[in-house]
Amino acid sequence: MDRKSFLKTTALTAFGGFTALSSRASAFSSSKRDLFFDISLAQWSLNRSYFGASRDLSWQEFGNLLQNSPADLIQGDMDPLYFAKHSRELFGINAIEYVNTFYFDKANNQSYLNELKNVADNEGVRSVLIMCDAEGALGDPDEAARQQAVENHYKWIEMAKFLGCHSIRVNAQSQGSYEEQSDRAADGLRRLSEYAAPENINVIVENHGGLSSNADWLTTTIAKVNLPNCGTLPDFGNFNISPDETYDRYKGTEQLMEYAKGVSAKTNDFRENGEEENMDYLRLMRIVKDAGYTGYVGIEYEGENFSEKEGIIKTKELLEKVGNELS
């Protein structure tokens, strides 16, 4: 049996002992009330399973390889072609958020995209968005490099449209002063959003390090773009502006929700009672609800004290618990 056939037919057994976790998730889901939001799964939650080569690397080494040669990482135990199947069968989650670095050499491969879409359609799983990294700085000080970064994202807009996604998630990287970075990032975001508008695709920015983790800066930048298809993807965990500066996550989430077209439920660790170790999820999700948001909240587990699979289940349970309290 070749590797592709093996992965397709043994996706579940490759996890070894995960059946109990999956059953636990299904049992909890069947008893929950209707929530004010829907749950999706961010593919990054399974990055170690898809990026097999990353397991023995430090986060710095992994980041360097991801930035410079992401295709070299695709050799994990799981095949990203079957992400939709993994999401539904293992976690009972029927909406997914792709990560572009798992498909760097596939974005223009129509045969592969057809199969990727067929997997999702056959599983009854909705494709929500594509998270895009390693495509250049949309706020690059050099205008030619900035334009190139914009054009590098075109293929992901086209892939998102084909799969039925509503958005691509991008970064607002730049250099210069506070104001210069805002102006440059707004320019790149505007160009990309104008390209995406006829395709009915949103361009949304995550607080993802640097000034983008400063909610004042990011909301000001989005306001400068001033296009209805350019918004934010508030991430509960990404408010570290630098090693020495952190933005208040609750204030930041409230500010970013004004432009939100998605929400990223980041988790890192859990207490014995199932609460997130460093975040008040009830408070955060109340902010989301008070903003009038009723869309997808994407699970993004990034911790190391639990396996990827158990971390996803714990995050889902926490979201459902909090959602039940607020709904």
One DSSP character per residue, 169-208 reads: EE---B-SSHHHHHHHHHHHHHHHHHHHGGGT-EEEEE--
Cβ within 8 Å of residue 115, ≥6 positions away: 81
pLDDT at res. 279:
97
* Mean pLDDT score across all residues of the chain: 89
Count of domains forming the chain: 1
Low-confidence ranges of the chain (pLDDT < 50): 1-20, 22-32
Residue 20 lies in a domain: no
pLDDT at res. 6:
37
Q: State the CB neighbour count (10 A cutoff) for residue 245.
A: 10
Domain ranges, residue 250: 36-326
pLDDT at res. 63:
63
Q: Assign residue 140 a region (left: φ > 0; alpha: ψ between -120 and 50; beta: otherwise).
A: beta
Task: Give the position of tokens 């995209």.
Answer: 113
Residue type, 315: T
Where residue 155 sits, what CATH number does that domain have? 3.20.20.150
Residue 25 lies in a domain: no
Distances (CA, A) of 317 to 1, 109, 126, 234, 269: 37, 37, 20, 20, 13
pLDDT at res. 327:
86
Residues 322 and 267: beta-carbon distance below 8 Å: no
- Alpha helices per DSSP H over the chain: 3-9, 19-31, 47-50, 59-68, 83-91, 110-123, 143-152, 154-163, 178-196, 215-225, 249-256, 281-290, 308-326
pLDDT at res. 28:
41
Residue 8 lies in a domain: no
pLDDT at res. 22:
47
Residue 272 lies in a domain: yes
The tokens for 289 are: 């609800």
pLDDT at res. 33:
57
pTM of the model: 0.87
Residue 15 lies in a domain: no
Residue 29 lies in a domain: no
pLDDT at res. 56:
60
Task: Give the position of tokens 């009972």.
Answer: 92
Backbone angles phi, psi at 232, to 5 degrees: -125, 160
Residue 197 lies in a domain: yes
Cβ within 8 Å of residue 106, ≥6 positions away: 112, 113, 116
pLDDT at res. 55:
53
Residue 158 lies in a domain: yes
Residues 218 and 231: beta-carbon distance below 8 Å: no
